[in-house]
Structure 1
Amino acid sequence: MEPGLIWVLAGLLLLLAELILPGIFLLWVGLAAIGTGLVQLAVVTTFAMDATCFLVLLGAGIWLSLTLRRGRPPPAAQVNAPGAGLIGRSGILLPVERYGLRVRIGDSDWPARLPRDMRVPEGPVQVRVEAVDGTTLIVKPE
């Protein structure tokens, strides 16, 4: 069997392993092995040239992945947090019930409280969400 085909086969097996195992590192090793095999099929090379080609391709792949990753902004800290999309939204403060204050935003009712220095206004009042404490919304009248 041609040594170049062995490199390509090993690279394909590494790419298959990448699908099974978590992570992304085997992707670059597999692509470097496939690239080395294609170079070896095109040009007659020595073992030292094969090893150098493999290491250069592997280094280039890792450098490329780090460069692409550096350009992306970090993920938002509030992903899937209950209040991630609620701060700044308007709602209606519902009359006081036995469970405490509640505010209706869209089609959902949320437990709410006013800042410590405010009293509960009478009747339904338009409020704006200022902050979130757990699942309790901190609201101020508009």
Structure 2
Amino acid sequence: MMDLLAKLGTWNWLILGVALMAVETFAPGVFMLWLGLAALIVGLLSFGIIWSWQVQVIAFAALAIAMVPLWRHFARDHEKPTDTPFLNRRAEGLVGRVFTLEKPIIDGVGTVRVDDTIWRVAGPDAPSGSRVKVTQADGASLTVELVS
């Protein structure tokens, strides 16, 4: 087996690079893509440079270690701002807003109406009609405090 790998030489890296990129198509996450690119670079460099397999492995490791954080850095910088920042996190958009209790808070639990939705709230006991401010959102439950 080692003889076969030694005979393939440069082609090993090219095959590995293509295989890693193929894995990326089945399990997308833009991680294997960069490992595959590192393998392709080592394979292409191996056509022009005669180096031992140990140096090739070290070059692959160095490129892989450098490419993944580099990609994460550039991907984070290029996120576009959106006009709907709370689209999939609606409860977080309610933090800081003031509402009127629909049902009283009894034993720490009550409800408020937000537009056409009833939200469960947790906070200090208060009668129906009291004004409360949302201080925290946790899933479908809101934590509130009384507003004077």
TM-score by length of 1: 0.57
Query: Is 1:110 the equivalent of 2:119?
Result: yes
After the TM superposition, which residues 10-89 of structure 1 pair with which residues of structure 2 at under 5 Å, given as runs? 10-20=16-26, 26-41=32-47, 43-46=48-51, 48=52, 50-66=53-69, 83-89=91-97
Amino-acid identity (%): 26
Q: Tell me the C-alpha RMSD between the 2 structures.
A: 3.9
Larger Rg: 1
Distance 1:44 1:61, change over 3 A: closer
Q: Which has the higher helix share?
A: 2
Compared CA separation, residues 25 and 127, structure 1 to 2 (3 A): closer
Structure 2: unaligned runs, 5 residues or longer:
1-6, 77-87
Which whole-Å deviations, capped at 9, do the CAs of 1:59-117 have from their partners, x for residues lacking one? 23213424665897xxxxxxx77843333112122265xxx84312233222335514x
